[in-house]
Structure 1
Amino acid sequence: MLRYFLLFSCFVLVVSCKKSLSEINDSQVDAIRINQVGYYPNAPKKAIIIDGSNLKTYSLVDLELNTIVFEGNLTESTTWELAGEQVQIADFSNFSNHGSYRIYVEGLGYSHAFDIADDVLEEPAKATVKALYYQRASTELPEKYAGKWARKAGHPDNEVTYHSSSGKKGTMDGHGGWYDAGDFGKYVVNGAYPLGQMMTFHEQYPNFYKDNSLNIPESGNGISDLLDELKYEMNWLLRMQDDDGGVFFKLTTKRFTGMILPEKAADERFVIGKSTTASLNFAAVAAKSARTFKEVDPAYANSCMLAAIKAYNWAKKNPEVAFKNPEDVVTGEYGDDDFSQEFYWAAAELYLTTAEESYINDLRSTSVNFSFKPGESWANHMHYLGAIALIDHLEDGALKTQLETEIVVAANELLGLTEKTAYFQPISDFQWGSNSDIFNTAMIVATAYRITKKPQYLKTVQEIADYVFGKNATAYSFVTGFGDKTPMYIHHRQSAGDAIKEPVPGFISGGPNNRKQDKDQVTYPENKAPMKAWADQEASYASNEICLNWNSSAVYVLGFLANESN
């Protein structure tokens, strides 16, 4: 009898809920900020209610049943200066049932839809890797692999002129590799560092990106599709090494081209400069490649190891060659005059690959700081990759213990920031590529979780990801193609030059940038809060460009969550 009573009660609840719910009206949808893709069942789940005039309660609505399945009280209103907002918080972390939902606040309306599922971020994780395929230079992208974003080959780069800054004359073969960002340049520093982040993921989770998982031309060859995509870039890096072991800095035109498709860009391209940073970043990722490819292609792995040693030796002989753009070149400079992080990363990877004590001695004599520094990840963050590699591969000992302690201390500092910073993320200084900073902090916290297995680290990484997918002051999901409201006008020549409405999917928009270097060309929000310094405008290279090192950190973090959240 009790069973039938409960069933009748549930029926009454369902009917009453249906009657009490208003029709979905999206006019106020941006006033409820949530992860527009969704949440893992065990993850923190929060929605941010903007300027709600001290509303009292919220409801969680199952979209399939059109019923309220969870209700709760909103927090008291508080001011977030970084966002320039009065907010209330709906915390529904205790709800974990799989399904599709919206938050409903009476007097305000509904949020964007989102899912709760065990695999909720796997599709965007794969898309952030597949986006790199769309950046391939010197090859066509057939519809079979690229879908409606198929295009002709651009920039054969098989006879590239040596710029005088290279110290050489004539031409070289520099074909292949990935376009670095929204432009068509190819840069060693910002090619090697992203490779290092993604190879770190592969070392830790080698079975996540299986063969045939990404639908790229190499799919079906028996090798991880992630490794196949990374090798396309690594092959180009190997071509950028000079005979003396040093590595050229970049392959670009002298000036940026217009917003056109690659096959229409005909300006002459040059191999430009040589530097300590390029050589050390190359040495680090070539040494890492030697380990990564050892089982699948031993001959290739050995060539990478020999190239790494040559590049490192060149850097030791030329330890202070800082790259500066020649007078006639204005493409990306990736400036850096502190080479300690690069020496640290290269020495760590070479030691783990060769087991030669000279490298670990070099590392011990290099001073680095593991407290996170926002901005310019290509200059500030390489040593984290070296430390993570050593933690993952060293036997127990004093150095491993020291590094684990350093990383956990850095992670704890970041956790402290998430507890007092708007939108529960660990940065308060929004610079160029702030979304990359967001993901890079998450990578440090993820490493602390791998070391300690303490749940608070995993939960922090999960909540950091929420920020990028829409729980932020702009109300946009910053990942193209994922979420109800995503960037449509990224600063990306291929997306601008084609006739397709949607941009290439899977790219991370740069994010809020309070410096607004493009403010003379871009209309930013009237609210001048740092977290709102972002514009979905094609001209906004300072806030809405895409870049390899922004995607690579997302590849790591989203892959980590897909593996550790269940």
Structure 2
Amino acid sequence: MDGIYSDMIRLNQIGYYPKATKKAVIVESKNAGKFSVVDATTKEAVFQGSLSEPMTWELAGEQVQVADFSELNTEGEYHIFVDGIGYSYPFSIGKKVLRKAFLGSVKGLYYQRAGMALEEQYAGKWHRPMGHPDDSILFHPSSGKDTGYMASPKGWYDAGDYGKYVLNASFPLGQFFQLQEDYPEIIGDNELNIPESGNGQSDYLDELRYEMDWVLTMQDTDGGLFHKLTAFGFEDMIMPHKSVKQRYIIGKGTAATLDFAAAAAKAYRIFLAQDATYAQNCLDAAKKAYAWAISNPEVSFVNPEGIITGQYGDTNFDDEFFWAGAELYLSTRDTTYLDNLKKDNLNFAYKPGDGWASYMRFLGMFSLVKQKDALPDGFYEELKAGILGSADALVKKAAALDYFQPIDDFQWGSNSDVLNTAMIMAQAYQLEPKEVYLKGVQQAVDYVLGNNAMGYSYLTGFGTKTPMFIHHRQSAGDAVEEPVPGLLSGGPNSRLQDASSGVVYPEDPAPMKSWVDQEPSFASNEICLNWNAPLTYILGFLEQESH
């Protein structure tokens, strides 16, 4: 049976922790009664069970039965077998089953580095020359400067394009930093095989610092943050070193400034033990940025005429002010920041699309609730109750939805919605270690790694059936068949914004099937920093908390 697997058996293609809930979804099963779990080497059945009654799942557009093999906790490599359908993709059961995927999701950031060559000893067959040194970037008039240029090197490419965006660098950094703050020993030195490996410091912090170094360059002398560094338009699907359009410092606004202030204030705590001078520079920059935002509280960014790269626009900055104030208070213990927080009517409800525009309030809550002794009477209890209540609602919702994930509206980057909800459940578990929260997180990851209506593990290079044609210029422009590994596809997007751009979707797809493995599909198959960030957090969380 080697290499012959059925797409009709959907499961986590990487694997499960021994004590985790383990479910596979059988599609078009023709009312099969039984299933088996077979050892991948001996082909002998190690577990047998009864399939659920048939169910119709409207979000997926499928009739399914569920195979529950949670009782199997023996470590090994296995397949599901259903008579008349065949064998599933292989999967493992083990105590550190997601470690490689976790490290891979971080190594994916290295492949996104701008301003340096990716050498073969670190990048393998995805090695490439340097692109975008960004040592002489012109100011666009929208930056507030009519002439001149500046250097703004390093950083990660934001997504499938070659732009660098302050807002969507700071937001993912906040999530990456949260993992480090929650689990300081999560990644050590020499674990990622990056150029900094062997320097005696955490490879994780080395990689995050490469991005933080860039964001620091985007602060204007008055404290405000320029919005982005891009060309006027997107490049063709070419390699970075062949991308030679003039790049500009574009725009300046409240959202980018506040997100930077939050990330930089958090960076102070993260880097303090490693490099106190660098940490202090981050904190000083955060204070300066926050002060600019207080004086300029309503500066929205809209793409200037002629600029068509990512906008990352926003007009409501309450979430950003909350996050920035929370991180600055925790790093300085200056109660001015705490007093400025809008603590009334905190919104703990997650809705699909709560990404770079509004998820920041949760990041502020996550940081604050970890510092009970630093909070005034009643505020900690309000935060804790709100997070637990949100997690309870998500757990309940996931139990009733197709493929056991807690969203029913599939928008741009829906996989990040799944993972951002999982972060809420993870924080709830840290506050009250209830099994239902851990189970909710595990099943969200199962969904992303293969237990979904497309039957794909959406993480490139991890799983048997993974995206091969992501909307990603490096992967399209190189001569390597496989895409760059460790990058998360955006996932189903029922809005189909690219349907008129050469992307061919099935006719009238179900919401969960509004995804195609096609290179032009920027609406469903692009990659992005703020999608990898919650994936990294959740995989790291599970590696620490699951057994």
TM-score by length of 1: 0.95
Structure-2 residue corresponding to 1:62:
39
Opposite residue 293 of structure 2, the aligned amino acid is A
Structure-2 residue corresponding to 1:149:
126
Three-state SS of the structure 2 residue aligned to 1:100 is strand
1:255 to 211, 229, 233: 233
Structure-1 residue corresponding to 2:294:
316
| Contact 1:340/1:368 (<8 A) preserved | no
Structure-2 residue corresponding to 1:31:
8
Structure-2 residue corresponding to 1:428:
408
Structure-1 residue corresponding to 2:451:
471
Residue pairs, 1:94-109, within 5 angstroms: 94-109=71-86
| Contact 1:525/1:534 (<8 A) preserved | no
Opposite residue 44 of structure 2, the aligned amino acid is T
Q: Cα offset for 1:376?
A: 5.1
Q: 1:512 and 2:489 equivalent? A: no
Three-state SS of the structure 2 residue aligned to 1:161 is strand
Alignment partners' CA distance in 2, 1:263 and 1:37: 34
Residue pairs, 1:223-234, within 5 angstroms: 223-234=201-212
Q: Give the number of the structure whose alpha-carbon radius of gyration is greater.
A: 1
Residue pairs, 1:295-306, within 5 angstroms: 295-306=273-284
Q: 1:89 and 2:69 equivalent? A: no
| Contact 1:134/1:146 (<8 A) preserved | yes
* Residues 544 and 368 (structure 1), Cα distance of their counterparts in 2 relative to 1, 3 Å cut: same
Structure-2 residue corresponding to 1:522:
503
* Residues 366 and 134 (structure 1), Cα distance of their counterparts in 2 relative to 1, 3 Å cut: farther
Structure-2 residue corresponding to 1:284:
262
**Which string of whole-angstrom CA distances, capped at 9 and with x for unpartnered residues, describes residues 329-367 of structure 1?**
000001211100000000000000010111001114565
Residue pairs, 1:4-83, within 5 angstroms: 23=1, 26=4, 29-83=6-60
Runs of 4+ in structure 1 off by over 3 angstroms are 364-368
Alignment partners' CA distance in 2, 1:288 and 1:560: 19
Alignment partners' CA distance in 2, 1:212 and 1:393: 31
Alignment partners' CA distance in 2, 1:62 and 1:421: 30
Residue pairs, 1:366-515, within 5 angstroms: 368-375=346-353, 377-395=355-373, 397-515=377-495
Taking only aligned residues, the RMSD between alpha carbons, in angstroms, comes to: 1.1
Structure-2 residue corresponding to 1:552:
533
Q: 1:538 and 2:516 equivalent? A: no
Q: Cα offset for 1:398?
A: 1.8
Structure-1 residue corresponding to 2:199:
221
Alignment partners' CA distance in 1, 2:351 and 2:337: 26
Three-state SS of the structure 1 residue aligned to 2:80 is strand
**Which string of whole-angstrom CA distances, capped at 9 and with x for unpartnered residues, describes residues 10-36 of structure 1?**
xxxxxxxxxxxxx56736x11010111
1:192 to 155, 163, 170: 170
Alignment partners' CA distance in 1, 2:4 and 2:61: 23
Q: 1:125 and 2:102 equivalent? A: yes
* Residues 278 and 93 (structure 1), Cα distance of their counterparts in 2 relative to 1, 3 Å cut: same
Alignment partners' CA distance in 1, 2:131 and 2:252: 25
Three-state SS of the structure 2 residue aligned to 1:60 is strand
Identity of counterpart residues, as a percentage? Answer: 55
Structure-1 residue corresponding to 2:323:
345
Q: 1:363 and 2:344 equivalent? A: no
Opposite residue 540 of structure 1, the aligned amino acid is S
Opposite residue 390 of structure 1, the aligned amino acid is L
Three-state SS of the structure 2 residue aligned to 1:58 is strand
Opposite residue 212 of structure 1, the aligned amino acid is N
Q: Cα offset for 1:40?
A: 0.5
Opposite residue 564 of structure 1, the aligned amino acid is E
**Which string of whole-angstrom CA distances, capped at 9 and with x for unpartnered residues, describes residues 361-413 of structure 1?**
11145654110021150002011111111111231742111101110011111
**Which string of whole-angstrom CA distances, capped at 9 and with x for unpartnered residues, describes residues 213-239 of structure 1?**
111111111111111111000011110
Residue pairs, 1:104-183, within 5 angstroms: 104-168=81-145, 169-183=147-161
Alignment partners' CA distance in 2, 1:137 and 1:108: 46
Three-state SS of the structure 2 residue aligned to 1:70 is strand
Alignment partners' CA distance in 1, 2:137 and 2:261: 23
Opposite residue 493 of structure 1, the aligned amino acid is R
* Residues 367 and 314 (structure 1), Cα distance of their counterparts in 2 relative to 1, 3 Å cut: farther
Opposite residue 417 of structure 1, the aligned amino acid is K
Give the gaps of 5 or more residues in structure 2: none
Alignment partners' CA distance in 2, 1:118 and 1:299: 39
* Residues 272 and 466 (structure 1), Cα distance of their counterparts in 2 relative to 1, 3 Å cut: same
| Contact 1:59/1:71 (<8 A) preserved | yes
Opposite residue 472 of structure 1, the aligned amino acid is N
* Residues 390 and 71 (structure 1), Cα distance of their counterparts in 2 relative to 1, 3 Å cut: same
Greater mean alpha carbon deviation, residues 520-529 or residues 440-449: 520-529
Alignment partners' CA distance in 2, 1:49 and 1:345: 43
Alignment partners' CA distance in 2, 1:366 and 1:279: 23
Three-state SS of the structure 1 residue aligned to 2:522 is coil
Alignment partners' CA distance in 1, 2:182 and 2:491: 28
Give the gaps of 5 or more residues in structure 1: 1-22
Q: Cα offset for 1:184?
A: 0.1
Alignment partners' CA distance in 2, 1:324 and 1:410: 32
| Contact 1:179/1:185 (<8 A) preserved | yes
Q: Cα offset for 1:66?
A: 1.5
Opposite residue 536 of structure 1, the aligned amino acid is D
* Residues 161 and 24 (structure 1), Cα distance of their counterparts in 2 relative to 1, 3 Å cut: closer
| Contact 1:490/1:537 (<8 A) preserved | yes
Alignment partners' CA distance in 2, 1:130 and 1:222: 18
Opposite residue 555 of structure 1, the aligned amino acid is T
Opposite residue 517 of structure 2, the aligned amino acid is D
Three-state SS of the structure 1 residue aligned to 2:313 is coil
Structure-1 residue corresponding to 2:545:
564
Opposite residue 165 of structure 1, the aligned amino acid is S
Alignment partners' CA distance in 2, 1:353 and 1:316: 18
Three-state SS of the structure 1 residue aligned to 2:42 is coil
Aligned length: 543
Alignment partners' CA distance in 1, 2:304 and 2:338: 35
* Residues 529 and 75 (structure 1), Cα distance of their counterparts in 2 relative to 1, 3 Å cut: same
Opposite residue 487 of structure 1, the aligned amino acid is P
Opposite residue 539 of structure 2, the aligned amino acid is L
Q: Cα offset for 1:526?
A: 3.3
TM-score by length of 2: 0.98
